[in-house]
Structure 1
Amino acid sequence: MRIKKLYLPIILATALAVGVLIGGYLNFSGPGRNFTANANRSKLNKLMELIESEYVDDVNTDSIVDLTVNGILEKLDPHSVYIAKNEMEQVTQSMKGDFVGIGVNFYMYNDSVAIIKPIENGPSEAAGLKAGDRILYAGTSKLFGRKLPSDSLFSKLKGEEGSKVNLTIYRKSEQKKFKVTITRGVVPIKSVDIAIMLNNKTGYIKINRFAETTYKEFHNGLLELKKLGATELIVDLRDNGGGYMEMAADIADEFLKDNELIVKTKNKKGNIDKTLATEEGNFENGKLYILINENSASASEILAGAIQDNDRGTIVGRRSFGKGLVQKEMPLGDGSAVRLTVARYYTPSGRSIQKPYNHGTDEYFSDFEKRFVSGELFAADSIKVADSLKFKTKKGRIVYGGGGIIPDIFVPIEGSHGDEALGMLMQSGLMSYFVFEQLDKDRKAFQGLTFPQMVAKLNATDAYFNNFKSYIAKSGLIFNLEAQKPVVKRYIAAEFARQLFDENKYFQIVLKEDAMVKAVLGRK
């Protein structure tokens, strides 16, 4: 890591991790309190033993322990959570940035495993699998007609790197069945969706989370955009719930000058850890815009706060989520883990942007509804700020703490009142499945079309829009899609572009009418 660290040597970080794990035996004010804590632990252990040995019915005590752990953590804060051992693999995989498998996007369609699209440069693409193919068997395991859950399907298709799996495939477009052997390989899970040029000088990078590979992905994308002539940059952090703080700090370092403060954290003992930029930034000059919304949280807010407080760039969008707590993931010895809040972080101006959580987890995570009702998602003057939480940026501009990053340029949510969930629907798996099923009916209708021809074909008809209305109605969802017809048609066309072409084409369509992107480009 290239970031400068102050005031917190490695030995202290190690001591903190160990201290949390064995905290029941250390850091108490006197022997009486230690005795009580140990007695309470013994009580819990004794209760578990009695249930196992004496209770009249068979009981899964592991599930009881899980409930107990969750109950304890719920009393702390909304972000201290327990990760059960059956969830650890998925969590670890997501944050690692890759997994070992055959490399396909799929879902259960009419009781069969349908390939939406092979992942580019993955094992399945190399083996010749195509969108629309059905996987009938993995080895001798039958996969169709069984309504298998996703985790069961994953277990059939994943395995050790270099291992082989024999698949029986049905290709609907050619009405033929065949067998293929695929060698499992490392398949990346991208945390940077795209890095493209919007015009001859403006680059755009979309980050969906901060995983182990995020800085590397971002760095490569940034360098490529600079080669293409980018002198201005838009970094899109919308709907990015965070991840590793270090990745956000590394990215901030690309924009900030040597010794500028990125973030500081403070733990229970009052120890302060400051993270400073180095002299190695690749985009320390040139206009910079950060896009955020109400779902931008944690590491996203660290990056946005560092840029705003150092007056390095312009924050565009809506007030961010408001998560100012730092978690550390620690194993519990049985394959499970606890993600425990160990510090608070502060932006360079000294702001804590953590919103209150003293009224319970449910109210904490329903904040979106409050913002909708108050009108904050539609008008900047509805944002409630506390005058007592005023802070100053490097150049003396007033910014506010408590409850998220307030943007410099406000852009209301797309759609009208009552359609606040439309954007989430448009970007959900439901849209992906709909488009797949439309293509599956007649894939040849799009065969050989260029990208402009495909767009023209879709724009010339309302057939797919009407089909989508029927599709979501059958799913039990109620939306006034007629009121947002251009938006819906845009996302339908974009998803067709993704499945028939690639991610670049998807974003070319979506970003062309994106309100926040237009707000930035309109300032030039």
Structure 2
Amino acid sequence: MGIRKTYLPLIIGTAMAVGIFIGGKLNFSDTSDRLFTSNSKKQKLNRLIDYIDYEYVDDVNTDSIVDITVNGILETLDPHSVYIPKEDMERVSENMKGDFVGIGVHFYTYKDTVTVIRTVDDGPSAKAGILGGDRIIFADGDSLFGKYLDNLDIVHRLKGPINSKVHLKVFRKDTNQILDFDVARDVIPIRSVDASYMLTNTLGYIKVNRFAESTYREFKKALLELKAEGATEITLDLRDNPGGFLAVAEQIVDEFLEDEKLILFTKNKRGNIDKSFATEKGDFETGEVYVLINENSASASEIVAGALQDNDKGTIVGRRSYGKGLVQREMELGDGSAVRLTVSRYYTPTGRSIQRSYSDGNKDYYAEYLERLESGELLDSAKIIVADSLKFTTPKGKVVYGGGGIIPDVFVPFSTNEENETLWFLEDRGFINYFIFEELEKDRHVFDGHNREEFVETYEVSDDLVTKFQDYINARMAASISFLSHPAQVKLYLKAAIADQLFGKGAYTEVFINEDDMVKKVIALSEQH
């Protein structure tokens, strides 16, 4: 089985269209005068908007018309050129920057009230004394409860300038008190490295969830710590990683490749080629590396996998990656909105493009996920369709293919047993997390004194909790579900959810790691090495 797999590839694929991009370097060769000179096409659009503004019989929000027009234009280009409305820019920018200014809490809107799941370690709320399970009911006098509560509005009220204070009124359930806190906002990191630890005495593991501005710093820190613990081999887990900044992917590849090795090259519409090479600063050039990928590893993840594969460095393990070989550049539109426009293609060191075809439109482009599922490719590597015209050879003679993702060196099939499908569905719909949250609400002090390492290694989910979960699910679904035939799998998912809510994503990953098929394969390969 895999770590937090999802059995809804079409939905994931559609979501990734918005989230995947590779940020290029803003370096226009043309001046703004030349790029934005007026012409008949632009005048036609401007005139139409003016006619609607001043002559149309009814009042119309022309801002929305412009948004629709921009989206319509971009949809005719490629699946990854996207429009970012003004209201989304802050959230999108924070995600790629890798931090934001806030109070440092993870929360659910639970029964119409903002309820803290856990505080960020050493964050403002933790320092102020806010605890998991606390209900934040007022922020600077504004209520944060009610059935029409919107998460974006909540986040907006809790954010603010660095060092500014927000006065919170908090209801603490286990003492039945309303408490007052003055919390000084601070920079809150959005972690890119979910987990890093040793799998064996010599094999380290690093899980990277995206390529943001802060990712390389986090990765480098984890890499050096693992080396200090004795790691001579590294497992780099890029499964379900939708990508991010090209430059960050280059920095990570540089840690593994020798000086002057080609990482990738890009080509724009004018045929200009920009090559990127490894430098002498790499700290893991002699160590063995295993890269884990799956059908949702895209963009910058594929740059890393392709660069290492084409340089005969390490082993790519998993399933064929997403297949995105386009580079986007974010360009502001002057009103707070922006577009991410495809400005070039990237190629792996052997010269292959791994971009899937989008000539039949966006709908068919995303339907390829279903085609992979229906063709059996996710279960059998022999079902992967390759074209001899897109065959390339690495320096050591290994055959690799372009035209739609990185094909791994070692294939690990998608697990489709019935119990896992049911549990993936329940997890994806939020049932498991909400159940665990409600169980923790009954008595959060049960886990007082547990640290993450001890919990992961020793905690065992009881049969009673499995029974409660089965009753919880059957009370909320039309069909009856029984977990009696596979309680061990249910316990694993419940334990992972508890770990996530108590200690964060890294603990979730650690709970699953010993049952992960790809990780098992890497450990076996390491033992043979």
TM-score of the two chains, using structure 2 as the length reference? 0.89
- Look up the SS of the partner of 1:316 in the other structure: strand
**Structure 1 residues 32-181: aligned runs within 5 Å:** 38-181=39-182
Corresponding residue of 2:188: 187
Q: Which moved more, 1:162-171 or 1:47-56?
A: 47-56
Corresponding residue of 1:513: 515
For 2:392, the aligned partner's letter is F
Corresponding residue of 2:499: 497
Report the alpha carbon displacement of residue 522 of structure 1 after superposing the two structures with TM: 1.6
CA distance in structure 2 between the partners assigned to 1:477 and 1:291 by the alignment: 36
Corresponding residue of 1:7: none
Corresponding residue of 1:240: 241
RMSD: 2.5
Structure 1 residues 452 and 174, CA gap change in structure 2 (3 angstroms): same
Corresponding residue of 2:258: 257
For 1:317, the aligned partner's letter is G
Q: Which moved more, 1:437-446 or 1:137-146?
A: 437-446
CA distance in structure 2 between the partners assigned to 1:360 and 1:420 by the alignment: 30
CA offset digits 1:158-184 (Å, max 9, x no partner): 000010000000111222111010000
Unaligned ranges ≥5, structure 1: 1-11, 26-36
- Look up the SS of the partner of 1:399 in the other structure: strand
CA distance in structure 2 between the partners assigned to 1:324 and 1:385 by the alignment: 17
Report the alpha carbon displacement of residue 495 of structure 1 after superposing the two structures with TM: 1.9
2:435·2:472 contact (CA, 8 Å) conserved in 1?
no
Is 1:14–2:20 an aligned residue pair?
Answer: no
Report the alpha carbon displacement of residue 445 of structure 1 after superposing the two structures with TM: 3.7
Structure 1 residues 365 and 465, CA gap change in structure 2 (3 angstroms): farther
- Look up the SS of the partner of 1:15 in the other structure: coil
Corresponding residue of 1:383: 384
CA distance in structure 1 between the partners assigned to 2:113 and 2:34 by the alignment: 49
Corresponding residue of 1:467: 469
**Structure 1 residues 337-416: aligned runs within 5 Å:** 337-416=338-417
Paired positions, count? 501
Unaligned ranges ≥5, structure 2: 1-24
1:465·1:488 contact (CA, 8 Å) conserved in 2?
no
Corresponding residue of 2:227: 226
For 1:414, the aligned partner's letter is S
Report the alpha carbon displacement of residue 466 of structure 1 after superposing the two structures with TM: 5.0
Corresponding residue of 2:433: 432
CA distance in structure 2 between the partners assigned to 1:403 and 1:473 by the alignment: 44
CA offset digits 1:79-127 (Å, max 9, x no partner): 0111111110011000000000000001210010000110111100111
1:434·1:468 contact (CA, 8 Å) conserved in 2?
no
Structure 1 residues 14 and 445, CA gap change in structure 2 (3 angstroms): closer
- Look up the SS of the partner of 1:522 in the other structure: helix
Corresponding residue of 1:208: 209
CA distance in structure 2 between the partners assigned to 1:284 and 1:113 by the alignment: 47
CA distance in structure 1 between the partners assigned to 2:474 and 2:277 by the alignment: 49
Q: Which moved more, 1:96-105 or 1:189-198?
A: 189-198
Corresponding residue of 1:285: 286
For 1:127, the aligned partner's letter is A
Report the alpha carbon displacement of residue 449 of structure 1 after superposing the two structures with TM: 5.2
Structure 1 residues 321 and 227, CA gap change in structure 2 (3 angstroms): same
CA distance in structure 2 between the partners assigned to 1:141 and 1:283 by the alignment: 52
Identity of aligned residues (%): 52
Report the alpha carbon displacement of residue 460 of structure 1 after superposing the two structures with TM: 3.1
CA offset digits 1:484-503 (Å, max 9, x no partner): 65434212101212323455
CA distance in structure 2 between the partners assigned to 1:476 and 1:67 by the alignment: 39
1:264·1:347 contact (CA, 8 Å) conserved in 2?
yes
2:466·2:487 contact (CA, 8 Å) conserved in 1?
no
Report the alpha carbon displacement of residue 483 of structure 1 after superposing the two structures with TM: 7.3
Q: Which moved more, 1:360-369 or 1:294-303?
A: 360-369
Report the alpha carbon displacement of residue 366 of structure 1 after superposing the two structures with TM: 2.5
- Give the number of the structure with larger relative contact order, counting CA–CA contacts within 8 Å between residues 6 or more apart: 2
Report the alpha carbon displacement of residue 435 of structure 1 after superposing the two structures with TM: 1.8
For 1:46, the aligned partner's letter is R
